[in-house]
Amino acid sequence: MNPEVEYLRRRELHARQMARRARCKHARRVHHHLASIYATRRAALGPPLPQGVAAWPSWRAFWRLLWG
């Protein structure tokens, strides 16, 4: 696997964990936004994700970002 893609995947997971832990609503939004940025960059670099379980959390985070 491409090391940059792996790095972005780890950063996305870290941002999602931080969003869950944050107490402040603004901090949660910022970390969700960061996670979506990492996911978008990773998708642009790597092979497409298989349809199913892996793609759903990214879409859910994206829609939450828009309407959250």
Mean pLDDT by 10 residues, the chain (68 residues): 84 90 88 89 74 66 75
CB atoms under 10 Å from CB of 65, counted, come to 14
Q: 9 and 44 in contact (C-beta within 8 Å)?
A: no
Q: What is the DSSP letter of 23?
A: -
CA distance 63 to 65: 5
Q: Model's pTM, two decimal places?
A: 0.59
pLDDT at residue number 59? 73
